[in-house]
A = this chain, B = another copy of it.
Amino acid sequence: MYCKISDKFKEECGVFGIYGTEEASVLTTLGLHSLQHRGQEGAGIVSFDGKTFHSVRKQGLVGDNFNNKNILSQLPGKTAIGHVRYSTTGESKPENLQPLFANLAIGGFACAHNGNLTNTYSTKKYLVESGSIFQTSSDTEIILQLVARSQKKKIIDKLIDALHQIKGAYSLVILTNKKLIGVKDPFGIRPLVLGDKNGSPVLASETCALDMIGAKYIRDIENGEIIVITENGIESIKPFKKIAERPCIFERIYFASPDSIIGNKTVYTYRKALGEQLAIENNIVADVVVPIPDSGVSAAIGFSQKSKIPFELGIIRSHYVGRTFIEPSQNIRQFGVKLKHSVNRSCIKNKKVILIDDSIVRGTTASKIVKMVYEAGAKEVHLGISCPPILHPDFYGIDTPSYNQLIASKSNLKEITKMVGAKSLFFLSLAGTYKAMGCKRRNSKRPQFTDHCFTGEYPIDVTEILKLNR
């Protein structure tokens, strides 16, 4: 299935929760739909009707699975949490769909997780040896098992007990028979925001989910914060030593939805700024700026506005890309990229073209598109990337290839340029990236962002994972 290997980092996960409204599962469905860009593999919702927890988890898109009254009527109750998933750890199996649920001695406990734990192996080993039975290969189940094992009396204390035993990146949304709980890890690597829908508190990975359901944005959950929503209101607990937050820079570069607001600006603004910065750093003479759609569009608009080179839709993206087209034989393998992209000849023929994309991971798509553009008659094809070269994998919830599949990790600029077939290839500098984020400069001692994919500086220890992957 040749469409399946994308030349992007695979997305990670999105979480959502709402407390105290008649249409909890419907609003959760809508919220998950707006977070679908964070995970297309499957979705799940757990609701609580005052007596019983209800769970529906399905592989496939939210809009394909949670679209009828039948399913929504299986999810009654005034409180619900939901999850969209792209498998980061745990294989692509139905039982790994979230939210996970456990019947604890003190009642039901449902949990949706965005992120990735880094001490999974050792913690799971300990738990299994002392008698826990794991039903999934998801690292999220470790949190459930730790909560189940805690000998503390209250659910929040059990949760804090568990959090002190895990390491990694996590934004959690948890549902119990009394509470809706949000958690962000000490570094605040993955996003989580608090909103309000006519008095009902909402938790969501991004503000676009608040917009979708017409909820007001209240504030971001802080790094290391536990937020507990009950009928008595909202309580904030901070069980960790306070440190400066260090959110993942990739949320702004390409994960988050362009209309989501982070740090008071829409993500689109950051991406346009990355494109502008790229134009400032690279002064190339050309006839047209053409985005590789849809990922490169925002940066290309910024590049065009700054460079004054006209923006043209020289590459068209199909709305109808099936993820499952087969490859019937060798001699039509070439059609792979065409299923997704086609060239708009008139913008390209006899033109000097600057292609803009937001990143390069393996380089496979880029090289196909450069070839396609040359075949359509371009005089020159330059490729501009609106972030620095990706040299290191992520282990905090983004499904990245290993070192030897990252083109920038194994090849130098000249080699990559040759491989993608462009006349020139240029990346944005790390300094330019921080500028586009609105920082004067990168604080090298305590960087404002988790930027390990560019720098190799991992804020949370990843030794256990590296050892296992070896």
A interface residues with partner B (beta carbon < 8 Å): 23, 26-27, 30, 33-34, 36-37, 40, 61-64, 67-69, 72, 102-105, 125, 128-129, 131-135, 144-145, 148-150, 208, 211-214, 257-259, 261, 265-266, 268-269, 294, 297-298, 301, 305, 310-313, 316, 318-326, 328-329, 331-332, 334-335, 338-339, 342-347
Contacts and interface: CB of A to CB of B under 8 A. Distances in A.
A132 to B, nearest CB: 7
Nearest to A141: B133
Q: Which of A30, A258, A294, A316 has the most CB of B within 10 A?
A: A316
Contacts of A144: 133
A347 B268 contact: yes
A350 to B, nearest CB: 14
A328 B133 contact: no
Given A133-B132, A305-B310, A313-B268, A63 B322 contact: yes
A30 to B, nearest CB: 6
A63 B128 contact: no
B72 A332 contact: no
Contacts of A40: 320
A75 to B, nearest CB: 11
Given A36-B319, A266-B346, 8 more contacts: A30-B335, A62-B320, A72-B326, A103-B128, A131-B150, A133-B144, A269-B346, A301-B311
A342 B208 contact: yes
Contacts of A148: 128, 131-133
Contact of A258 (B214, B310, B328, B344): B344
A359 to B, nearest CB: 18
Nearest to A214: B334
A177 to B, nearest CB: 15
Given A103-B134, A320-B40, A321-B63, A212 B335 contact: yes
- Number of identical monomers bound together in the oligomeric complex: 4
A261 B331 CA distance: 25
Contact of A332 (B23, B305, B312): B23
Contacts of A105: 125, 128-129
Which secondary structure characterizes the binding site on chain A? mixed
Contacts of A131: 131-132, 145, 148-150
Top 3 closest A-B pairs, CB basis? Answer: A63-B322, A131-B149, A266-B346
A53 to B, nearest CB: 13
A368 to B, nearest CB: 13
Contact of A30 (B211, B316, B332): B332
Contact of A316 (B103, B259, B313, B323): B259
Given A103-B133, A104-B128, A320-B63, A344 B23 contact: no
25 contacts: A23-B332, A26-B329, A30-B338, A34-B342, A36-B319, A36-B320, A64-B322, A67-B326, A69-B328, A72-B326, A72-B328, A104-B128, A105-B125, A131-B131, A131-B148, A208-B342, A212-B335, A257-B316, A258-B313, A258-B316, A258-B344, A259-B316, A266-B344, A266-B346, A305-B310
A338 B33 CA distance: 10
A102 B145 CA distance: 15
Contacts of A128: 103-105, 148
Given A148-B132, A259-B343, A67 B301 contact: no
Nearest to A145: B133
Contacts of A145: 131, 133
A341 to B, nearest CB: 10
Given A105-B129, A259-B344, A343-B211, A23 B313 contact: no
A216 to B, nearest CB: 12
A26 B313 contact: no
B259 A332 contact: no
A339 B298 contact: no
A191 to B, nearest CB: 17
Contacts of A344: 258-259, 266, 268
A325 to B, nearest CB: 5
A339 B261 contact: no
